[in-house]
Structure 1
């Protein structure tokens, strides 16, 4: 028996070591481009063409000053905050109400509708570029932030609805029943009982929705033509000119564009992990 236990312990130890090694390798490949971009943004451009992977010999923040003073980076940044923030609020609210309805109310075809939402995620969003362009143009929202704000929730709602439905399934119905015995309505129990205990799930779908809207490029490129209305991805793409790439502008801009999301993830990490695991249990 002791030999078997020793063998089992060794196997578990080897599996644990293997898992950590794979995680370290994955983190290395994920973090290295971000770190390298940040390092290159504070080194002279002449050092980028040396062909050697070395640490910066001289640190300079001249390019950051140039981006802030000579480009429309701040305008692009504020546009992205506005569009992504409002699209996230709309997507999270609609996804929460739809997910709650699918979780609590048994209607004919409800399960099939939930599966249909999941199947929608299999199709690439680029297939919708032309139909959504014609739809946005028909409503007179072409070349406006409102067009993007109305469009982005359509890309995130299938995931947010499905994820929150699974999260709401893990919440005992007795909480709402007790509230309704005390005189609360379905809406009051949803707003005052369910939503407060659904913080991790709400945070998960909010992060997903915000990330998609923050990084989205194709739809913004098609729907926005005015320079002053560009979001950050469009602004960064403008630094890749016909006869070369403005590395002195692109590298610091990309670093500053990624920094807010990195800080946001640091504070929301525990909610994200808890929300993903809870929402994946049922559905």
Structure 2
């Protein structure tokens, strides 16, 4: 009997050691991954407070001896550079709102109704996701020039929506599919129309999915570089990614200002993730379910 108890306690101790070793290994792996992913951002933030010469000092220093806000001051007091941020906000917010509005209506139709060409339309929406955006650059340039939308907000907004809408419709359709149709039927029994059931019942309980799609859409629009460079011409229409590229002069690079503008450009997306992280994860998970 004592031997049995001893062997049992040894097995329990062994399992605890194995469990502790797994947790330790997982923690170390996550820590290495966090350092690998976060160090470039930390170095970027540190470089934004240095002078151009100090950035390339040898040996390099993470913490500068001559802390300075000059790079941020130069950006925030320059009307042209501030305009880059205004343009990005106008375009990204417009694309996000319009994409969510159209995606909600389209997803509701795909999820709740049967109509002609439903499957072909679904296939077209999915196939658009597989088209490399760079292959559409020249056609879109010619189209925007022909329509008189070159170098305009509307041109950028419509172009971005071509790439954000398919994903948004797919995700919102998947999310609506997880909601029981009895909710719609109960609302219709109470006298609500189909649109009333959508906006009064389904949309309020679909906030996690809507938030996740909204964050993704805003992020894509905010960070887009190729079409923003091609479809705009004047400084007053450039967005933040183009503004960062413009700091690369012919003879010198404003590295500290590039780092400062990159940090300022990261803030909107970072804040969205911080405040809506719970909704974002829940919405992405639910939207991935296929019934």
> Would the TM-score normalized by the shorter structure come out above 0.5?
yes
**Residue deviations 1:154-207, cap 9 Å, x none?**
111111111111111111111111000011111100011000000010001111
Which residue of 150, 164, 174 maps to 2:172? 164
Give runs of aligned pairs for residues 178-217 of structure 1, distance below 5 A: 178-217=186-225
Hey, what does 1:254 align to over in structure 2? 262
Judge which range, 66-75 or 15-24, deviates more. 15-24
> Residue 46 of structure 1: CA displacement?
2.4
Hey, what does 1:268 align to over in structure 2? 276
Judge which range, 164-173 or 104-113, deviates more. 104-113
Hey, what does 1:105 align to over in structure 2? 113
Give runs of aligned pairs for residues 14-33 of structure 1, distance below 5 A: 16-33=23-40
Rounded to whole Å, the distance in 1 between the matches of 2:13 and 2:213 is 44
Rounded to whole Å, the distance in 1 between the matches of 2:244 and 2:45 is 15
Q: What are the ranges of 5 or more consecutive residues in structure 2 without an aligned counterpart? A: 1-6
> Residue 108 of structure 1: CA displacement?
4.8
- Confirm or deny: 8 A CA contact 2:49 2:256 kept in the other structure: no
**Per the alignment, do residues 141 and 25 of structure 1 end up closer, same or farther by CA in structure 2, a change over 3 Å counting?**
same
Rounded to whole Å, the distance in 2 between the matches of 1:30 and 1:259 is 17
Rounded to whole Å, the distance in 2 between the matches of 1:18 and 1:105 is 50
How many equivalent residue pairs? Answer: 283
Hey, what does 1:236 align to over in structure 2? 244
TM value normalised by structure 1: 0.91
Hey, what does 2:52 align to over in structure 1? 45
> Residue 112 of structure 1: CA displacement?
5.0
**Residue deviations 1:194-245, cap 9 Å, x none?**
0000001000111111011101111011110011111111111100122231
Q: What are the ranges of 5 or more consecutive residues in structure 1 without an aligned counterpart? A: none
Report the secondary structure of 2:140's partner residue. helix
Rounded to whole Å, the distance in 2 between the matches of 1:137 and 1:12 is 63
Which residue of 141, 147, 160 maps to 1:152? 160
**Residue deviations 1:75-95, cap 9 Å, x none?**
110110001100111111111
**Per the alignment, do residues 130 and 8 of structure 1 end up closer, same or farther by CA in structure 2, a change over 3 Å counting?**
farther
- Confirm or deny: 8 A CA contact 2:52 2:254 kept in the other structure: no
> Residue 121 of structure 1: CA displacement?
1.9
Q: Which has the larger radius of gyration?
A: 2
